[in-house]
Structure 1
């Protein structure tokens, strides 16, 4: 079996993109998803994204983690928007459906602005925070981000009893006068990724809780992003936009042994 694909990345968060408007991709085959994401045996990616037709909106996006689980993916959504434009499905504005419902977005030059759903609140957990931006995120403020090995503490929090059974993503944040710096241990990938869109959004909203003003500038290992928002008197968040580049890397055909 051969599969045509496009590879996209958004600040280093990379995805195998598949035009599945004819709905022939065997999405129930989790071994196939894992193979495509494998950086030695397959294409290599943090996730697989299908673009399908939608009866009411511009398109449907389905995102799979390497383990086959589904979730909202912020950087993946931005890459899907750029891919949909390349396919001629959309222009510079769109309304589409993904895992957590319907979203709108727009493209401005090389920057894709993805509109996330409103967030009710961030909850304090001792000195840490928890916030759900379409995917669950634990946020920890640190002062030695570059020197940290985030894998061990990230894995411990991700699999802690508090977050059973589904687990959570884990973000480590260092504040700076210009904004914040973020590293993320991603659930489903089970490793650090160069960037996580819903994760940096969660961290920016936590920054808003400690009086950072919108838009918040974020630096990740994979590049720069911004998150804008409106904070209400009730300390909820509206008009949340994740903005950053989404670039095509290459396209090809992969022989699938599964």
Structure 2
């Protein structure tokens, strides 16, 4: 069976997008892993399907590059929103569900096949303090550690070890954070499910910004964050004296790279 797809990227985090409103695609983990393979498939950090929703504009499901289902992907959600826009689904503000719950996204501006997208993330209500590290869930679990220079970190080696640490029974994404100034960070992330460093991680920069505000910059609620694939922004509200972070917004670029089709029998 031939299926059309589109390839999108958000700050270098790249994804395969499928318009599955007719529900022709079966999300088989082995097939998804083959499609995401960079040597034998299309190549991507993950795959997303867009399906109909009876109450919202559409429904998003995200799958990691290894074929496992992920709860949420911040950069993926921005690409998904632009994909929906290109399909004519929803308005300037779009409402969709993902495995972690309901989300709102706003098209801030478009430039040809690219755009700047703001995505609403789920609230955070608990931050685990490990002394020299912090853990929280921003849609998926994240481990955050501050370092003096992210360029000197063995992200893959250390990230893989922490990702499989027994302290985190669900596994975890791993974020290394360098403070560049007030409201200004540099972040590198090892992603669970990709099992490698990615050029950007939306839930990761969200975790980094919230932990930085919680631990080191309590008066700052908006962060500019440099990642290997570009720059992202995170802003939020915080209830003083608590671990409650609400109205969390992730903003950054998204772009359609190309379109094509594949034969399911070939994967």
Q: Pairwise mapping of residues 13-92 of structure 1 onto structure 2 (< 5 A)?
A: 13-27=13-27, 29-71=28-70, 72-92=72-92
1:207 partnered with 2:215: no
Identify which of 118, 137, 141 aligns with 2:142: 137
1:174 partnered with 2:178: yes
Count of matched residue pairs: 256
Secondary structure at 2:69 match in 1: coil
Judge conservation of contact 1:228–1:240 (CA < 8 Å) in 2: yes
Secondary structure at 1:162 match in 2: coil
Residue 107 (structure 1) shift: 1.0
CA distance in 1, matches of 2:228, 2:90: 30
1:251 partnered with 2:263: no
| Aligned equivalent of 2:161 | 156
Judge conservation of contact 1:208–1:231 (CA < 8 Å) in 2: no
TM-score of the two chains, using structure 2 as the length reference: 0.93
CA distance in 2, matches of 1:105, 1:221: 24
Residue 31 (structure 1) shift: 1.2
TM-score of the two chains, using structure 1 as the length reference: 0.96
Q: Which runs of 5+ in 2 are unaligned?
A: 110-114
Judge conservation of contact 2:124–2:243 (CA < 8 Å) in 1: no
Judge conservation of contact 1:15–1:47 (CA < 8 Å) in 2: yes
Judge conservation of contact 2:135–2:141 (CA < 8 Å) in 1: yes
Runs in 1 of length 4+ with deviation above 2 angstroms?
A: none
CA distance in 1, matches of 2:179, 2:217: 12
More deviation, 45-54/90-99: 90-99
Residue 214 (structure 1) shift: 2.0
CA distance in 1, matches of 2:263, 2:50: 20
| Aligned equivalent of 2:233 | 226
CA distance in 2, matches of 1:136, 1:43: 27
| Aligned equivalent of 1:3 | 3
More deviation, 115-124/39-48: 115-124
CA distance in 2, matches of 1:41, 1:255: 14
CA distance in 2, matches of 1:253, 1:116: 31
Identify which of 125, 129, 137 aligns with 2:130: 125
